[in-house]
Structures are given as structure tokens and as C-alpha cells.
Amino acid sequence: MQALSRDTPVIFPVAALEQHGRHMPLFTDSLLLGEIAGRVEAQFSTRVLLAPLQWLGNSQHHLDFAGTMSATPRTYLDLLAGQFENFIAHGFRRLLMLNGHGGNDVPGKQVVYELRQQHRAQPGLLLLFATYWDLALTAPAAAHAGLQQTRMGHACEWETSMLLQIAPQLVGDLAAVPPVEFGNAFEPATRGWVMPDRSPPGHIGDARHATAEKGAALLQVFTAGAASLVQRMLQWDGSSWEG
């Protein structure tokens, strides 16, 4: 690593270990993000550096379900900040936290905000946080003609399809999974919630429509989106606002 250019993009995959309904494994987020991050790394070879996947996430809202492990929100802020600080200390300037769990969104954004203020005197420092399903260059729902959902849920058609593609032996009986509507949680306000508030079985969406073919199409779309962001990091001139 000592020989690497300090302009080499460093990707930090951050996911979770938490319940995913009654038909999906606890490591679902980590498995899916690990697949996407690995595909992105393969596209860029030695031009990027992939940090080890962080499997512990901010999953406090899932703790009512056995098996979930979570860092408390403020501890998680420090955990994520520490990962970036390790590489900033060695002079790396282009850092991306690639996220695979919705509960990490708020702390991840807070970390990149706080660290940029702390290192405000350091020119050419690019700190990014992005969730993989938000990076798709085209609407994920258009990736396959049979997709029913239009947005990411939890242990839903999208996640279940992707896991059917990469590890079908870990998916349970989908015929026994009842649909759980997304609903309107006082939108556009942001509501503090725990999973039993909205879903007694612990999933959101309708996994009954999931197929491995849909999963393959979604993985392709999500990988392309993440790879596009990494390419922008590589092409950045080191100073401009645009990227």
C-alpha cells in the first residue's frame, strides 16, 4: 500500500448484520454489498483500493428481532470516522464509503460532514458517502420487465431476488411470506421508528415476486452505478467542485 498514489480511490463497504424477515439471513446486507463491491473492484483492478467490509451497522431499529447486532448510533459515528481517519493519516485523499444498509445513511452522511470540517485546511480531500441503490444510472425498477417494486424495501422483492442470484440456498419459502406495504410514515417528515412499528414479521415489500433473474439484472444495474461514481473519483482534478 505504501507504493500507491495517494489519489487512489479507497472504497469502504459498510453494511449490517440484522434480521431480514423470516425468509432471509441476518447477513443479507453484507452479502449483497460484498458482491457489488467485489464486482466494482474487479472492474478497476489496481486503480482502486477496497477496504475490508464493515459488517456491523447501525441497526438499533431492528433489535426487537433476535440475532440482530448493532452499534449504538454515536458509537457507529466514531467507528465510521475512524476508518476514514486511518487512511487520511496516511495521505489518501479520495475516500468513498459505499453503503448497503438504510440505517447507516444518517450516520454516514454525518461522518463525511464532520470530517471535512475537521480537515478543512487540507486541499484536495474528497470524502464521499453513497448508498448503492441510490447510485443506479437508470431506474432499478426498469432493470427487469417483471419487477413489481419501485424502490428498495427490506427483505423485499429486490433484496430477495439478488440473494436468490448469489446464494439461493439461504432463501426460505417465499410462498409463506405475506406482503407488507411501504405505507406513508408522515412523509415528507422523517419519523423515528422501530421495525415493529411498521412490520410485525420484520420485512417491508413483497418478496413473493422475487426471482434469480431479477436479481441478476438488479446486481448489474447497481454495480454499474457504483462503478460510475468510482470512475468520477478517478477523473476528478483534485480541486474543482464538479466531479
Cell of 118: 475537521
Residue 136: its pLDDT value, please?
Answer: 97
Cell of 72: 449504538
Q: What tens digit of pLDDT does each residue of 54-91 get? A: 999 999 999 999 999 999 999 999 999 999 999 999 99
For 238, other C-beta atoms within 10 Å of its C-beta total: 11
Q: What is the tally of helices (H) and strands (E) in the chain?
A: 6, 4
Cell of 38: 467485489
- Is the confidence at residue 1, as pLDDT, over 70? no
Radius of gyration of the chain (CA): 18
Q: What tens digit of pLDDT does each residue of 7-59 get? A: 999 999 999 999 999 999 999 999 999 999 999 999 998 999 999 999 999 99
Task: Give the start-to-end residue ranges of the domains of the chain.
Answer: 10-235
What are the Cα distances from residue 140, in Å, to 93, 137, 145, 167, 215?
31, 8, 11, 21, 11
| Phi/psi at 139 (5° precision) | -60, 120
Give the closest residue to 59 by CA, choosing from 40, 46, 72, 42: 72
Q: What tens digit of pLDDT does each residue of 117-129 get? A: 999 999 899 999 9
- Distance, in Å, from the CA atom of 1 to the CA atom of 86, rounded to the nearest integer, reads 13
Strands of the 10-14 sheet, one edge to the other: 49-50, 10-14, 94-99, 126-131
Give the closest residue to 50 by CA, choosing from 91, 90, 27, 83: 83
Annotate 194-225 with three-state secondary structure: CHHHHCCCCCEECHHHCCHHHHHHHHHHHHHH
Residue 242: its pLDDT value, please?
Answer: 87
For 220, other C-beta atoms within 10 Å of its C-beta total: 14
What's the farthest any 2 CA atoms get from each other in the chain? 57
Three-state secondary-structure class, residue 98: strand
Domain at 10-235, CATH class: alpha beta
Q: What tens digit of pLDDT does each residue of 183-222 get? A: 998 999 999 999 999 999 999 999 999 999 999 999 999 9
| Phi/psi at 204 (5° precision) | -135, 120
Q: What tens digit of pLDDT does each residue of 129-171 get? A: 999 999 999 999 999 999 999 999 999 999 999 999 999 999 9
- DSSP designation for 234: H
